[in-house]
Amino acid sequence: MLTMAQELGNPTKRWKIYEIMGELYEWQTDGEHARAAYQSAMDVLNVVAER
C-alpha cells in the first residue's frame, strides 16, 4: 500500500501509513524502527507544508 501511495503521490496516505507503522513497531518494542517510521511521517508532512 505504501508503494502505491508513493507512486500516486498521495501524501495523506503516506504519512498515515508511516504513522501506523510507527505504532506497530512501538507495540513490538522496536524503538529504532518506530522512530524511523515516525520520522518518515514527519518528512512527508514537512514536504506538504513547504508547498
Overall domain count for the chain? 1
**Distance of alpha carbon 32 from alpha carbon 46, whole angstroms:** 21
User: Tell me: the pLDDT tens digits for 25-46?
Assistant: 999 999 999 999 999 999 999 9
Q: Is residue 23 part of a domain?
A: yes
27 is a domain residue: yes
Question: Could you tell me the residue range of the domain that residue 17 belongs to?
Answer: 10-46
The type of residue at 26 is: E
Contacts of 18 (CB under 8 A, 6+ apart): 2, 37, 38, 40, 41, 44
Tens digits of residue pLDDT in 10-25: 888 889 999 999 999 9
Residue 21 in any domain: the answer is yes
C-alpha 32/C-alpha 35 separation (Å) is 5
**In the structure, what pLDDT confidence band is assigned to residue 2 with cuts at 50, 70 and 90?**
low
Measured CA to CA, the distance from residue 26 to residue 34 in angstroms comes to 6
Q: Does residue 4 belong to any structural domain of this protein? A: no
Q: Is the pLDDT of residue 3 over 90?
A: no
Q: Is the pTM of this model over 0.85?
A: no
